[in-house]
């Protein structure tokens, strides 16, 4: 659209617009809005609107890219004067009464790409005066749902627009009232908690109380879900039988919904009107007590405990044979009054032949975190031995699997540790081999003992040679044993070879340290370095203290870890099967 023309339409410059009236049919915006669309969007001037229509009447029915006429935009904006003027102008286009009705009704019933009529748009904006004009002009139209399955009446009820609901019901006796998911305007009014809308709808069509949505939920189910006791009272005053209508999938009545949601007020209202509805069970055979326990609604459980008919629910079984006590001990809900109740059957078996105590001990978490277990022990609840043969077989399978897994993990762990031992043994062998040919003190270079070690006659030197030899032999032997162990498949034989190699490496490390101490002492044991030699020997002895401490701790940890695992498996057996 020409910028000047668009600006004139925005600002209501009718003189400039009329000067360019020959361009009205051609000039449109990027969304195909005509000058009439733009004028209605930004101006609320009836004179300008009539002037544009008189100059180009075809603009009345022109639509933009969304399929909207200027009339629908005026309704959405709540421009009552413009809506009234457009209706009046539409009536002037026909010459006979039938033509007038046709043109006017076409404009009122025109839908956009979302199938929204002007009434849909006016309801969303809560424009009561515009709604009044529209419904009074075409009271016989049904106002069908849009692409989102929304009717104007449903939108008004959902948004708590009581005045609009009242006006539509009074003027359009045949108005459609459906909404998404097969719900009615009464469902929407209940979810909104609007008692005024509910009263108007119930006075209009009392049978709406029985109409269910795609899930089988009646308006009473919705009231139970929202804990609206007053809404439930208003529905039950019209028809008490709706309290017994189940939904489609789970066969739950409204009382079940309220119990599962923890809504005590809604439950009280339904029980006041229908005192026997507590007897109803859902599709899984569960009572309201089952549902309250399953969803851990403590307030509902305590509410039921105070009722005189509680005794008839405490031991009821569902399709799986579970009583409320079975479900209670399997949850984190703690109700000692239910566990210790004199009528509660703590010896009851479900279809898996499990008692409440067995379920409470089913895993380690329940044994340590479930407070219900203590209560069961205090009342001496029985374990139940119906499945003992099968449980023993299960335990044997678990133990076998545990041993197999343990053996595989141990074998893999041995292989990794053997690689480390092999590397250490090789390093020790390299160092001791080099030390055997690089003797402390050096060699004699004069005849007749040329090539002999200078410190051969010293006792410390002799100790050095012997300890270095022991370290060399032990490290090479350790490498040999570990290498031999790789050829065996039996875990005990592999473990023996690796264990022998590990002990030889420990001996080699100790012998290498002794060789270092004695070699150093042999070199420094003279009047000038005697004190230094003794200091080196003393400090070197700390190695053996550290070595002993950590080796002792390592063997102790390995022993305790194995004993702890065996004790854990035994405890699992005792708690689960004994």
**Structure confidence at residue 491 as a pLDDT band (50, 70, 90):** low
Query: Which of 479, 484, 483 lies closest to 433, judged by CA?
Result: 479
How confident is the model at residue 577, as a pLDDT?
45
Within a domain: 466: yes
Q: Would the pLDDT of 310 be above 60?
A: yes
Does residue 370 belong to any structural domain of this protein?
Answer: no
Residue 529 has pLDDT above 70, yes or no: no
Query: Given the structure tokens 């020790």, which residue do they identify?
Result: 428
> pTM for this one?
0.68
The number of distinct structural domains making up the chain is 1
User: What's the pLDDT score for residue 500?
Assistant: 83
| Structure confidence at residue 570 (pLDDT) | 47
- Return the pLDDT at 365: 45
Full domain range(s) for residue 510: 400-577
Q: Is residue 511 part of a domain?
A: yes
Which of 68-82, 276-290, 410-424, 461-475 comes out lowest in average pLDDT?
410-424
Mean pLDDT of 185-209: 94
Position 465 in a domain: yes
Asked if residue 248 is part of any domain, the answer here is no
In a domain, residue 481? The reply is yes
Q: With bands split at pLDDT 50, 70 and 90, how would you rate the model's confidence at 573?
A: very low
pLDDT at 133 over 60: yes
Reduced to 3 states (helix: H, G, I; strand: E, B; else coil), residue 208 is: helix
In a domain, 121, yes or no: no
In a domain, 525, yes or no: yes
Buried b (16+ CB within 10 A) or exposed e, 40-78: bbebbbbebbbbbbeebeebbebbbeeebbbbbbbbbbb
DSSP-H helix ranges across 211-346? 219-226, 229-238, 254-261, 264-273, 288-294, 298-305, 324-329, 336-339
For tokens 């005697």, the residue is 530
β-pair partners for 443: 453
- pLDDT, tens only, 496-520: 777 788 888 888 888 888 888 887 7
């Amino acid at each position: 659209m020409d910028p000047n023309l668009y600006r004139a339409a925005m600002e209501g410059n009718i003189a400039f617009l009329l000067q360019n009236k020959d361009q009205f049919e051609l000039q449109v915006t990027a969304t195909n809005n005509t000058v009439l669309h733009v004028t209605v969007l930004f101006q609320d001037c009836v004179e300008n609107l009539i002037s544009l229509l008189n100059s180009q009447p075809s603009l009345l029915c022109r639509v933009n890219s969304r399929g909207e006429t200027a009339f629908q935009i005026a309704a959405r904006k709540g421009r009552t004067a413009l809506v009234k003027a457009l209706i009046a102008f539409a009536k002037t286009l026909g010459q006979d009464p039938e033509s007038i009705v046709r043109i006017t009704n076409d404009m009122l019933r025109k839908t956009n790409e979302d199938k929204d009529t002007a009434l849909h748009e006016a309801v969303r904006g809560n424009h009561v005066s515009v709604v009044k004009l529209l419904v009074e002009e075409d009271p016989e139209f049904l106002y069908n749902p849009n692409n989102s399955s929304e009717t104007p009446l449903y939108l008004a009820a959902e948004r708590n627009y009581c005045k609009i609901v009242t006006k539509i019901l009074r003027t359009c006796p045949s108005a459609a009232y459906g909404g998404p998911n097969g719900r009615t305007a009464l469902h929407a009014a209940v979810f909104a908690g609007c008692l005024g809308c509910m009263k108007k709808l119930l006075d209009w069509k009392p049978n709406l109380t029985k109409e269910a949505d795609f899930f089988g939920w009646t308006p009473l189910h919705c009231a139970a879900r929202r804990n609206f006791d007053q809404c439930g009272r208003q529905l039950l005053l019209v028809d008490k039988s709706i309290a017994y209508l189940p939904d489609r999938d789970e066969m739950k009545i409204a009382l079940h919904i309220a119990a599962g949601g923890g809504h005590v007020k809604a439950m009280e209202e339904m029980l006041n009107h229908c005192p026997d509805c507590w007897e109803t069970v859902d599709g899984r055979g569960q009572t309201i007590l089952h549902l309250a326990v399953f969803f851990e609604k403590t307030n509902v459980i305590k509410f039921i405990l105070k009722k005189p008919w509680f005794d008839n629910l405490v031991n009821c079984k569902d399709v799986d044979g579970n009583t409320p006590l079975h479900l209670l001990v399997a949850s984190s809900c703690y109700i000692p009054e239910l566990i210790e109740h004199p009528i509660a059957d703590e010896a009851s078996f479900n279809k898996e032949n499990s008692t409440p105590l067995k379920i409470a001990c089913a895993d380690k978490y329940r044994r340590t975190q479930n407070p219900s277990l203590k209560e069961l022990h205090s009342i001496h609840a029985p374990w139940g031995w119906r499945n003992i043969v099968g449980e023993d077989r299960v335990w044997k399978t678990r133990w076998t699997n545990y041993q197999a897994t343990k053996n595989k993990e141990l074998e893999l762990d041995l292989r990794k540790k053997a690689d480390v031992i092999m590397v250490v043994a090789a390093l020790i062998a390299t160092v001791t081999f080099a030390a055997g040919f690089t003797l402390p003190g050096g060699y004699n270079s004069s005849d007749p003992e040329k090539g002999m070690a200078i410190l051969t006659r010293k006792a410390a030197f002799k100790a050095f040679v012997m300890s270095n030899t022991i370290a060399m032999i032990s490290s090479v032997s350790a490498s040999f044993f570990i290498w031999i162990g790789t050829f065996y498949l039996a875990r005990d034989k592999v473990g023996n070879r690796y264990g022998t190699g590990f002990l030889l490496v420990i001996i080699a490390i100790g012998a290498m340290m002794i060789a270092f101490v004695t070699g150093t002492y042999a070199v420094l044991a003279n009047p000038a370095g005697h004190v230094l030699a003794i200091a080196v020997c003393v400090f070197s002895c700390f190695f053996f203290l550290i070595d002993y401490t950590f080796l002792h701790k390592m063997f102790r940890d390995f022993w305790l870890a194995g004993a702890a695992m065996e004790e854990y498996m035994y405890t699992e057996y005792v708690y689960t099967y004994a």
